[in-house]
Amino acid sequence: MAGETVLVVGGAGYIGSHTCLDLANKGYKPVVFDNFSNGHREFVKWGPAEEGDIRDRARLDKVLAKHKPAAILHFAALIEVGESVKDPVSFYENNVIGTLTLLSAAQAAGINAFVFSSTCATYGLPQSVPLDETHRQVPINPYGRTKYIVEQALADYDQYKSLRSVVLRYFNAAGADFEGRIGEWHQPETHAIPLAIDAALGRRQGFKVFGSDYETRDGTCVRDYIHVLDLADAHVRAVEYLLKGGESVALNLGTGTGTTVKELLGAIEDVSNRPFPVEYIGRREGDSHTLVANNDKARDVLGWVPQYDLSEIIRSAWNWHARSNQH
């Protein structure tokens, strides 16, 4: 399958750009399609870029006709849960209407291999841990609902339109390219690891922990942190799976190992050797106390096994944030 062109929609963003790196390393030609509202032109390093919005059908048609990709990887989404509550309309317009427009363009171009960036937020509050793909899907915010709606649409496209897809439900993406060429760069930043690293670097006053009285081993929330390069590897495997005729499937992407917030902060202090102020405040509405993946199905279907542990996640993130000046 190497040598094929793959359209990476949202390829200038965090996970999309690392996937372009992995695609190029494995002999594919990644073509980035991005409106650069959240992505970064500096992250387009491994193939051509086409500027455009997924809601612009004419632009999509033109790009697909020009590059003739064998598959589409779709990362272009609004992702901040808090913003989705404040402005649900934008999330439905981009994440749902934009994706349906992209799917229509893909079908018109004869492309029937589609990999969708989804989220464990489609599960809502966990009924059991670790979560597997049979867990009920009852999202509790507009962000999760927009991703779930697209998952339902993809199931219908598969059944009635023969468009095959792999839905990848991420847990907590983290880390960076080990060479420091690209990394996590959100504006504003809301993710725990970059916020804590910025506190260790003196770029912010300290780090706030939401809730210290959960029924966990140290009272703080437990999360499953997965290295962005492991995520990228799963996406490339998903493309290969579909191009070889694989059937539509939804898969969790996580390590299966939970880390508490206190453990995470301790690991960041160990790597940085820089203590920083930590403030414990009240719980945040809608937070689950534990989110950990059962990743057996991804292993069975894609042969995917995460390669990097928490220390490697933090070391690569520290390298990126300490060296980069995009703050």
What whole-number distance in Å separates Cα of residue 207 and Cα of residue 148?
31
Q: Is 28 a catalytic residue?
A: no
Q: Single out the catalytic residue among 28, 143, 170, 308.
A: 143
For every residue of the chain, which 3-state class applies, written as one string? CCCCEEEEECCCCHHHHHHHHHHHHCCCEEEEEECCCCCCHHHCCCCCEEECCCCCHHHHHHHHHHHCCCEEEECCCCCCHHHHHHCHHHHHHHHHHHHHHHHHHHHHCCCCEEEEEEEHHHHCCCCCCCECCCCCCCCCCHHHHHHHHHHHHHHHHHHHHCCEEEEEEECEEECCCCCCCCCCCCCCCCCHHHHHHHHHCCCCCCEEEECCCCCCCCCCCEECEEEHHHHHHHHHHHHHHHHCCCCCEEEEECCCCCEEHHHHHHHHHHHHCCCCCEEEECCCCCCCCEECECCHHHHHHHCCCCCCCHHHHHHHHHHHHHHCCCC
What whole-number distance in Å separates Cα of residue 137 and Cα of residue 122?
5
Question: Where in the sequence numbering do the catalytic residues fall?
Answer: 143
